[in-house]
Chains A and B, each alone.
Chain A
Amino acid sequence: MSRLPDARRCQEWAEQMLSYARTAGADAAEVLVRDGSELEVKVRMGEPELVKDAGSRALGLRVLRDHRVAVTYTSDFAPAAMRQFARQSVELCELAEPDPLADLPEPHEMARDVPELDLWDETAPSLDAAQALRLAKQGEQAALQFDRRVTNSEGGICSRVMGATAFASSAGFSGGYRGTSLSLVVAPVCDDADGKKRNGYHWTASRFTSGLLDPEAVGQEAARRTLAKLGSRKIATCQVPAVFAPEAARALLGQLAGVVSGGAVWRKSSYLATREGTAIASALVTVVDDPLRPRAPGSRPFDGEGLAARPNVVVSQGVLRTFLCDVYSARKLGRRSTGSAGRGLGGGPHVSASNFVLLAGKTPPAELERLSEGLYVTDLMGFGFNPVTGDWSQGANGFWIDNGSRVHPVSEITISINFDDLWKSIDGVGNDLDTRGSVQSPTLRVSRITVAGT
């Protein structure tokens, strides 16, 4: 039942709702419409386990009256229902208190055009459930056949999302765009000698079918990663250098995105609140937020308030150059928006990174592992980050490095450091940028971290 999302039609709905809101008495309004379809299939131990195929459409409205804001959400597009919804939304404004900073952006701030970012794959719609099942099955099979010690599987999952987004604002913008994204994940399971199960996974994702890795390659790599965990054990409590694989480093970078957000800054919820213009990381670290990269997962031609999307250098050689701001946080901080607003259907605009990228360095990752002893971190667990203080402590899995090589897998430990110290003590940045997600990092090495184990 996958229907093709229609950005043009979404834009018409958005403009229609905008006019209903104005008629209902709103001083200003903005409307987000999303129309999309998802196909998700899962194969486990060679058999189809799930075929999910559905379309979905909804509308988010933000209305202002006398500087009072209401944010509402509906999935009913019948004209009478839309008109009633507009009226109810405007009435809700009465409950909020006037806040002039919450007004829509100034008309001169709005985007003038919608750049083409090559986010739509014309071949994606032709992928049907049978083909997706075949890809998932091939991926899983490659993992199961890779080694006899791969005894079980959490499955192969293939998914495709196609969506249209349209946005219309009474501040003077109306636009829309379409995008596709595809992914394949394979998650094998091995039995360890002590009876414990070891699981791992590997994934590929792209906006284009042609950008996906071969299912066999994904399955084989998933098996390799899982097998590498056999014999995993705790290590003694110690302080050592730590090398973060790109996937673990991505998690660190995602946490950094949270504390450079203007929203966290004016809320006094970031340890970086007073640090703009100062060194917050090692000089090896440069981070950009770039929404305009063609075909990239986090790209968007305009932001969640209808401002032109633009690249921002957030950290340049360790120095914090700017916080990322939407219009509200920018006004709170006495500055201009950086065009970094995200917008979900269920809530108002908020700061949201696009493609948040730590630029690759020059060092091959293998060189970063040349340590007399250290920890190689493959993934992190838990929620042990306090953005207010920078206290950081997370569960970790990985490998023990002895004399330059990974000697055994490690699990059931935590690693701790203050987040500020973590970024300042980065003494190596790999040349292996992982571009699969919207938060992208190469391998990173931290000179010293506390490991809690036995």
Chain B
Amino acid sequence: MSQAFRSADRLGPNPLAGIDAVVAEQLLGEALAAGGDYADLYFEFRCGADFVLEETQVRSVGRVLVVGLGVRVLRGDATGYAYTEELSAARMSEAARTAGQIAAAGGQVTPMALTLIQGSDTYPVPESSLDRPGPDKVALLRRADTAARAFDARIVRVEVSLSEEWREILVFTSDGRLAQDRQPMLRLGVHAVAEEAGRHQGGRSGTALRRGLELFALPGHAPEEHGREAARIAVAMLHAREAPAGPMEVVLGPGESGILLHEAVGHGLEADFNRKKTSNYTDQIGKPVASSLCTVIDDATVGHARGSINVDDEGNPGQRNLLIENGILRGYLQDRISARHFHSEATGNGRRESFRCQPLPRMTNTMLLGGQDDPEDIVRSVTRGVYAKHFSGGQVNISNGDFVFSLTESYLIEDGKLTAPLRGVNLIGNGPEVLRQVTMVGHDFRLSEGTWTCGKDGQSVPVGVGTPTVKIARITVGGTRTP
């Protein structure tokens, strides 16, 4: 097994090399010594680097190396959790016994023999970017920086960052699963500031995919394109005007608008909230929860996508899950505890931020599938409304579905045409209500390749979002100009 995990030279010796089935079975036995229904071990090795270029200079380079083990013991719905960064026999055994405390006086199970779970590899990389020489990456930063500055004389500041991560995980479970994965991530971000007559505006662009440096040779992914895009937004927003306030028609552009779906629907479909009956989607399976134009999936198997996982952090293969089909709620995103509760199959959505955290049901790549409408017709159908192009993020109250999204690039639509850029726009609404207001769905589905990170219970995981152009008949726009 250590063979499968041999890292390339620059990553150094693999600290997980000595972890094998013998070690794992011993630890699982200790974790379950006091009782409990189930135990799992999550070994993680993470190596990362980051580069920041500011004012045309590489200001700082960073490197991180983290190794650890998280041990979980379940008794019913209760979790005992402990972790250690030191993979010595004594420390690992201490973590196993500490996690096992929760199970005192619980049932008695014996760990089963381990079988390897093989997922397909949806993000093979020829070589980790970490194995490439540093100057190659510095050159990429410069290309983005130069392109942003050249875009317009009003660009007064550019910051470019590149971060790379190589994560190897090994999961052993007391019900006999052994899973392993290597999860690369490469992220480039550009932030540009434009200035005119004392006014400033900022623009951002970036990409994050599970790839090596070959990413930047792909069409549409050259660093220059992100430099220019960040600069374009900053300049375009210089003349943005105050946004209207109140309910109106909104057209969501393709790709990034999926953030709305992530917040408005995705979180509410995570099975833990439904198991605890604290989600607005509780007991709604089989019922209409959206306009019949809406089909929503969560797909961990999109090639190289930021949210993709070959196996989840509980050792189940990542998969494509249907959540809403033509408006009807079909399923939840499960982790082990919730799947047991609902007597359902694992969906491969048990994810964690690191070995320090217990798994939770989480999204991977959440998408609204394309429909029949021509995107131009969608914009033409609006008399007065807002076109949403770029988002900085969103937040949802899972209990009742109320959400808010912040737009960083948006335009007024007047008589079917995009007119003035708008500043400081928010969209606010309620998940199920807004999905019922979807009246047109474009045929231009796009998965955003942006740098989305989802937070829940203090844990951050990388995710993907995607939509076609979508028309929402009525949603509240939070601007400053009252009618």
Contact = CB atoms under 8 A, between A and B. Distances in A.
Is A bound to B?
Answer: yes
Interface of A: 1, 44, 47-58, 69-77, 85, 88-89, 92-97, 99, 102, 129, 152, 154, 189, 192, 196-199, 234, 237-239, 267-269, 271, 346-348, 381-384, 386, 388-389, 391-395, 397, 411-418, 450-454
Interface stretch (B108-116, B210-218, B290-298, B422-430): B422-430
Nearest to A347: B62
Interface string B171-199: 00000000000000000000001010001
B425 A54 contact: no
Counting chain A CB atoms within 10 Å of each CB, the highest count among B15, B76, B424 belongs to B424
B404 A386 contact: no
Interface stretch (B339-347, B364-372, B391-399, B437-445): B391-399
Contacts of A129: 101
Contacts of B77: 47, 49
A393 B476 contact: no
27 contacts: A44-B276, A50-B79, A51-B78, A51-B81, A52-B80, A53-B101, A56-B85, A71-B63, A72-B65, A74-B65, A74-B66, A75-B85, A85-B65, A95-B61, A99-B59, A152-B277, A268-B156, A268-B195, A347-B62, A383-B395, A386-B424, A389-B423, A393-B479, A397-B402, A412-B430, A416-B480, A450-B480
Nearest to B53: A97
Contact of A69 (B60, B66, B76, B276): B60
A269 B202 contact: yes
B83 A54 contact: yes
Contact of B81 (A54, A72, A381, A415): A54
B406 A384 contact: yes
Contacts of A267: 54, 157, 159, 193
B478 A95 contact: no
B211 to A, nearest CB: 21
B200 A382 contact: no
Closest 10 CB pairs of A and B: A414-B478, A391-B424, A395-B404, A382-B404, A452-B245, A95-B134, A199-B399, A75-B85, A197-B399, A452-B478
B200 A268 contact: yes
Given A76-B67, A96-B59, 17 more contacts: A53-B82, A54-B81, A70-B60, A71-B60, A72-B62, A73-B66, A77-B86, A154-B399, A237-B482, A237-B483, A386-B424, A393-B243, A393-B479, A395-B478, A413-B476, A416-B426, A454-B246
B60 A348 contact: yes
Main secondary structure of the interface of B (DSSP, over half): strand
A151 to B, nearest CB: 9
A454 B247 contact: yes
B89 interface: no
Interface string B368-411: 00000000000000000000000011110101111111101000
B334 interface: no
A189 to B, nearest CB: 5
Contacts of A50: 78-81, 358
A412 B427 CA distance: 10
Nearest to B133: A95
A394 B479 CA distance: 10
